[in-house]
Amino acid sequence: MIINTNGFIYAADMTNQLAEELPEKLWDKPLIAELGTIRKWFMHMIRVRGVYAGSLMTGKVEFPGHLVPGDASIILELRRSTEELSWAFEETQKHRILMYQEYITPEELLHIAIQHEGIHQGQYYIAFQQAGIKLPEQWRRDWNM
């Protein structure tokens, strides 16, 4: 089974590019209380990508996953987690994965991973606009909002 991960890589790179373009001094600035800080979002994305990658090897989605060490380079971990999950999709031998109480296919998990990236990007897009934070060029170019 070969799974094309281009859509996931595109979605994940939108998050990764934000980390590369946004000054780190803004990462700990609360934007909207319900969202938490940008740093926590980045760490969340790394952790969830790891959970999904693991599930493609074990056949079971298991949260909470591994926390990102405090001294880790967030930018490097975002890139690494993108590559790891993309590789896991391409190499999985699993035909079904237990997610909560039901089985899904690796292709369905791919859609979930892409959706997960997009949901959080949309949340932060609004938060950035409300806080007057300049959006990454690709976000402005691709979304034109």
If phi over 0 gives left and psi between -120 and 50 gives alpha, with beta otherwise, what is residue 36?
left
- Binding-site residue numbers are 44, 116, 120
In eight-state DSSP terms, residue 145 is: -
Burial zone of 35 (CB within 10 Å; 0-12 exposed, 13-18 middle, 19+ buried): middle
> CATH class for domain 5-23+35-143?
mainly alpha
pLDDT in tens, 53-72: 999 999 999 999 999 998 99
Please tell me the pTM assigned to this model. 0.95
State mean pLDDT over 61-88.
96
- Binding-site residue numbers for a divalent metal cation are 44, 116, 120
pLDDT in tens, 13-51: 999 999 999 999 999 998 988 898 999 999 999 999 999
